[in-house]
Structure 1
Amino acid sequence: MRYGLHTGYWAAGPPTGTAEAVLAADRLGFDSVWTAESYGSDALTPLAWWGAATSRVRLGTGIMQMSARTPTATAMAALTMDHLSGGRFVLGIGASGPQVVEGWYGQPYPKPLARTREYVDIVRQVLRRDGPVTYAGTHYRLPVDGGTGQGKALRSTVHPLRSDLPIHLAAQGPRNTALAAEIADGWLPAFVSPKLDAAYREHLADGFAARSPELTPSESFEVCASVPVALGRDLESAADQIRPHLALYIGGMGSATTNFHRDAIERLGYTQECAQVQRRYAAGDKAGAAAAIPLELVLDVALVGPPAAIREQLAAWESSVVTTLILQTDPRLLPALAEVLGLTAD
């Protein structure tokens, strides 16, 4: 098992202590550092800024929203980051949801799987640099139809450091997960649990069966799961640190009809609990929504408690399909967590 650090979303400004935590992750033997974006801070700028002071950790976007950039713009950013980091960049992308895509980016959301397939095709074409980039898809066309009629198929002026730069897909549903296994180099899930490991393996197997032989072998496929972590004197006090986070994603994310995070948690068997959390959150009772999160749910999707309890909980994750645990935690706790995880500084 490898471990990563998730720097999380910004609120009013940069999260306190994150720059120091990124340096600590590099020093303490963490595998990777990941940044996020929603509709505030972007994922690339902090990764480049904080990552410039590191030398070992991989630098991943978890995630870049596809609707925020054209496929070629994403490929440009990826090859640039890969050069600047000396081959440590991981391109994590995802479709996001209709509320953000249509409300913030002004782009249509329907057919996210088909759009993702075309998007990744174009990014890989840029990275291969076999010739000028052309594409005649349903969602993306290069050169574009119409316009001035002067559009020209172009090839990147920059030679990518790695033509096989890893692309990871964020996915939570069964079909999206299978698509990640079919066309990507890794899967970036959230709110997964070892209790559904057999189902995850089945979805991934479906995708691997359709995987092109031109891609890296499925044996090298990564599963980098974001997992909330909280240290505490006991399970309940530690779980209290995670409950508001889960309540936000269950009750405050997405729309009333489309919330992929809630769907993932309902698949764990918490349909009634999710409905109660959503009702309270929608009514403005955020504290009540958090209180409605049972300890069992926290233990299913997070690592919580004193060090001995967290070490015990890790056993289930280590035998699961997950290859990297991306820790979502208070950045000031990173040195203590590294000790719990058995990581040591050089």
Structure 2
Amino acid sequence: MYFNSENYFFLYVGISSGFGCMGYGEDVYRFLSYKGILRRDRFEVGQRTLESGERPETMSNKDALMLPLKASCALFALYIFFQFFYKEYINLLLTGYFSYLGVLALGHLLRHAASVPNLPYHILFTRGDNDSRSDIVNYNFTSYDVICLVISLCMGAWYLLKKHWIANNLFGIAFAIRGMELLRLNNVATGVILLCGLFLYDIFWVFGTNVMVTVAESFEAPIKLVFPQDLLVNGLNASNFAMLGLGDIVVPGIFIALLLRFDKSLKRGSEFYFRATFSAYILGLLATILVMHMFKHAQPALLYLVPACLGTPLTLALLRGDINALFNYKDQPVIVESPVDNSKTKKSE
């Protein structure tokens, strides 16, 4: 699954479909966000190996400005589709598409946790002889890939057949972590533009219209985390859910990941801005839950998360005299060649 600057389709759908309705499960959110941010930072300042062919997509100021507009178009298009076409047919198509993406994302996530012997395999089919020989299939894989693919396919089949909330959340977790791995901010100004734009977007579509809530409740795809409120009564067969869009995890997550890299650039031996902002993120989620219960109305989570995630580091940087360093910080990714190539490490432009 790859993101490019022309269409952040997954992110649009994640943002568009689930921002407005949220509920319980803050401990799960906390684990998910922390795990994803640390995995995002595990590449240090954007290090990736060319062997995988993947590179994080850096968001520019223009991308950040356009994202709320494009997300609005995607959201309204989904709303129109649900008004004029049978919801069952739309969800059938989306279920198949996101199940395929979920299998890939979950397989990638599990691959890092596999603890079995990693045995390499190579499948090669050719045609012709000697000089005229050409490859039909030439594929390298390992035992990790096989085991993770089997597990992911089982989860995909479970989701396709049952639409169970556990399978939905497994795919959602994989999507969120994968999104934080592949999307990157390289300066605070871009993050401020992105968060402020989505802050206004979130408020308008939740409080100004019923579009977001309608789409969130109609959209049957693992682009939101769902938490059963009747778990103690109905167990695993629970049917009354609260939900949180993946955009509420991915968007603050990539900003907090930037702060973690900023902390490391200061070389002070601490993760002060990261930990402070991450704690503020958790408090923002708790505030959303509290207000939702008080007013019995779906809440735009970014209404609380954006002030928490922006106000905390900016205030602390001002008090500590780091405000110039914070806004002047530019994350320069380093591309590391595969060890097999014996190439030198080089900085990207």
TM-score (norm 1): 0.30
Computing the radius of gyration over CA atoms, which structure comes out larger, 1 or 2? 2
TM-score (norm 2): 0.29
Q: Which has the higher helix share?
A: 2
Q: Which has the higher contact order (CA 8 A, sep 6+)?
A: 2
